Amino acid sequence: MPLFNWLRREINRMNLSLMRLRGFLRKEFLQIKRDPSSILLGILMPVVLLLLFGYGISLDPKNVPIAVVIEKESSQTRDLAARFDLSSYFSPIYFTSMQEAIKSANNIDGIIRVPSNFDKDHAIQLIANGIDANRARLIEGYVQGLVANWLSIEAARRGEQPPFLHVQPRVWFNENINSSHFLVPGLLALIMTIIGTLLTALVIAREWERGTMENILATPLRTHEILLGKLLPYFAIGIAGMLLSTLLGLSVFGVPLRGSVTLLLLFSSIFLCASLGLGLFISAITRVQFIAAMASILAGFLPALFLSGLLFDLGSTPIPIQWVSYLVPAKYFVTIAQTIFLAGNVWPVILPAAAILSGMASLLLFATLRKIPRRLK
C-alpha cells in the first residue's frame, strides 16, 4: 500500500509537471509565432550560408592568372604551353622576356620562365606571389604536377623511362579535392551555433528586459521546466536548419554522405544541446539583450568560425591557440560531421569527439540549470 501511494504521488507529480511544461511551451511557441524572425533565421540563414560558402568561398585556385615566358620557341615549348592552356587551374599570359612579364606583375600571381635551353635539361623557373602563402604553395604544386605529367608523356613518346620518380597520387575521402565537400559538412556546426547560441542568448535576457520574468517566477514552474520550455522550441528550429542544410549539401553541391544518417542526427542533436546550453547560460547571467548578443558572438560564433577547423587546419596555428580550440564544442562536431560525410562511420575518430561533445553539452546544460533564477533578487 505505501508503494502504491508513492507511485500515485509520483505519477500525479509528473502529470502536473507535464501540464506546466505544456503551457510554458505553448507560450514560447506563440512568442516565436508573433516574432517569426527566429524561424526565418533558422530556415533562410542555412540556405544563405551554404550558397555563400559553397559557391562564394573556394580553397581551390582556378583560372590563376600566370605569366609564361618562353625565351626560345620549339615544338616542346609549344606542347608545354598547350598544357597550360588546357588546364582549368591556369589562365596563362605569354611573353618572350622576363622584363615584359615583370611589368605585368600586378595582374598575375606568378611567372613561369621556360629558358632557352629547355629542350636539353627540361628545367623551368617558377616565381610565385607569396602574399598569400597557401595560394602560392597550391600554385607551386599545380605547376609541378603539370610539368611532371608533361615530362612523363614526353619520355613515353620517345620510348624512354620517365625522368626522376614517377608519382601516381591517390586521394582518399575527397577524391576530386573539392573544397566545398570539405566546407559544407563543417557549415552544419556554424549554422547550429548561430541558431543555438545567438538566438537563445536573448530569450531569458528578453524576459528580464520586458519585465515578464517576474510573472514566470510567480508561476509554479520548476527551473528544469523553464529550461526545457526555453530549449525545445529552438531545438526544433535547429534540427530543421540542420536537415535543410544536409539536403542542400547533398543535392546542390553533391557532397557524399558515406556514414549513417542516424548517427549524424544523433550527434547533431548533442551538439545543438551544447550550443543551446551555451546560449541560455549567457542569457541567464547577463539579463541584457545587447550584452548577451555580444557575448554570444564572442563565445559562440567566432570560435566556431575560426577555432573549429572549418576554414583551416588548426595544426598550423600556434600551440596556445590549439589549446584554446579544445574548449570549443564546434571543433568536435566539425570532426564528426566531416568524418560521417566524407569517410563514413570511422569509430576511432567519431567516438572520442562524441564523448567530449556529450560531456560539454551536459556541463553547459547543468550550468544553465543552476543559473536560472528561482526567485527575484
What are the residue boundaries of the structural domains of the chain, listed by start? 24-57+178-371, 64-158
Confidence category of residue 328, pLDDT binned at 50, 70, 90: very high
What is the architecture of the domain spanning 64-158?
A: 3-Layer(aba) Sandwich (3.40)
Confidence category of residue 376, pLDDT binned at 50, 70, 90: low
pLDDT, residue 54, reads 66
The grid coordinates listed for 148 are 611532371
Confidence category of residue 171, pLDDT binned at 50, 70, 90: low
State pTM to two decimals. Answer: 0.74
pLDDT, residue 45, reads 72
pLDDT digits (tens, 9 = 90+) for 50-95: 776 666 566 667 788 888 888 888 888 888 888 888 888 888 889 8
Across 223-241, average pLDDT: 86
Q: How far apart are CA 184 and CA 101, in angstroms?
A: 38
The grid coordinates listed for 208 are 528580464
Q: Which residues of 215-253 are buried (b: 16+ CB within 10 A; e: fewer)?
A: ebbeeebeeebbbbbbbbbbbebbbebbbbbbebbeeeb
pLDDT, residue 201, reads 83
Which of the pair, 313 or 349, is modelled with greater confidence? 349
- Cβ atoms of 334 and 352 within 8 Å: the answer is no
Across 262-274, average pLDDT: 94
Across 261-280, average pLDDT: 93
DSSP string, 141-203: HHHHHHHHHHHHHHHHHHT-PPSSPPP-----S-TT--HHHHHHHHHHHHHHHIIIIIIGGGH
Across 255-282, average pLDDT: 92
- Cβ atoms of 239 and 42 within 8 Å: the answer is no
Confidence category of residue 262, pLDDT binned at 50, 70, 90: very high
Average pLDDT, the chain: 81
Confidence category of residue 176, pLDDT binned at 50, 70, 90: low
Angle between helices 179-193 and 261-286 (to 10 degrees): 40
Confidence category of residue 165, pLDDT binned at 50, 70, 90: very low
Percent of residues, the chain, with pLDDT higher than 70: 85
Across 294-321, average pLDDT: 83
Across 8-27, average pLDDT: 75
DSSP string, 232-276: HHHHHHHHHHHHHHHHHHHHTS-----S-HHHHHHHHHHHHHHHH
